[in-house]
Amino acid sequence: MHTRKLAALDRSPALDAASAAGRLKEAASLLGLTAGIARAELPREELERLRAWLARGDQASMSYMEKKPEQRASVGLAFLEGARSVLAVALPYPPERDPKAPAPIAAYARGEDYHRVLARRLDALASFARDVLPGARARRFVDTAPVLERAYAHAAGLGFYGKNSCLIHPRLGSYFFVGGLALDRELPADGPLEDAPSCGTCTLCLEACPTRALPEPFRLDSRRCISYLTIEHRGAYPEDLRPLVGERVFGCDVCQAVCPWNEKFAPGGDDAFSPFPVLQGALTTLFLRAKTSWKGTTRATALPRALKRGFLRNLATAMGSSSRPEELPALEELSRNEEPSVREHALWALARRKGN
């Protein structure tokens, strides 16, 4: 539906870079995207920020982040030789409103996989760009290239950095996905924001993080982050963190849910991300669906990133923070799972529920 809206736009070649930029942003808006333009090379401080994060070991087991960090600050080095500009985009998704009683699955992953949604719209935007900029090369990215997408969105004026390390848009909050279109044409840059707003003296996100994964403003320690532990981490994770994860089985929204910017501005989110009924329900319901039809349950969602064994491990961990008796048979079954990490977390959960 969104892509059809571009049909009425003028696709004739733009007379100059400024008019091309305006028409590209108009096309993005019709696709439900908020857009801004950045240079193809990020400011030096972004690369320095990445290197400092790596030096502290905050990337945890995500060793792929350590490879050729200089490429992550340049779309030209990363995947489009001769790139001159980046059209960065933001697409809101339905927010989590209650940090004290969150659903087991993080807000961003309850509907269709954002990679698919953004890819379709960026493909339409790339087609439009090639019409208004004849001969231009355009390549989209949405977690599909080794670049600092959040930093490009920041450089394009789509927000400021919050103390929780999220990008916060002054009128959207932080519940949005980012992606972009690399172009081999010079377009006038929009950002970063001048006189950008900020978090001020607020530290609600740092105080609310269950695992203290935000040890100081603007720093995220992945080793303690619930989103990392439940999605990216492979195998068992530290026992002292398990009770702090609570009943979350895929991701976490606490640092965003307590943010005043989201309380005031976060929109309802794009319809493409309306929650799938199959991803809702009690932990036992999710367990039965994952056990009997993992591929069918997670098709077209972001959940396969955790792998089936990771999701079952997370369910076992979540049941360890519950007291519902109907979950005990599931925990007993998980304690006999062939995957060591699933067994370990299930046995831990059973022992915890028995008070041992």
Active site residues: 143
Burial 221-245 (b: 16+ CB within 10 A, else e): bbbbbbbbbbbbbeebbeeebbebb
* Helix runs in the chain, H state only: 17-30, 44-55, 75-78, 114-132, 149-155, 204-208, 226-227, 242-245, 254-257, 260-265, 283-298, 307-319, 328-334, 340-353
Q: Look at the alpha carbons of 57, 63, 68, 74 in this order and tell me if their dihedral is positive or negative.
A: negative
CB atoms < 10 A from the CB of 162, how many? 22
d(CA 111, CA 34): 20
Q: Look at the alpha carbons of 263, 264, 270, 274 in this order and tell me if their dihedral is positive or negative.
A: positive
| Alpha carbon separation from 12 to 15, 112, 127 (Å, rounded) | 9, 34, 12
- 146: CB partners within 8 A, 6+ apart: 64, 67, 68, 71, 72, 78, 79
Rg of the Cα trace of the chain? 21
Q: What token pair was written down for 291?
A: 């056990």
CB atoms < 10 A from the CB of 64, how many? 8
Residue with tokens 């340049």: 74
- 8 A C-beta contact, residue 323 and residue 298: no
- 301: CB partners within 8 A, 6+ apart: 109, 111, 112, 113, 276, 279
d(CA 185, CA 21): 10
% helix, strand, coil for the chain, step of 5: 45, 10, 40
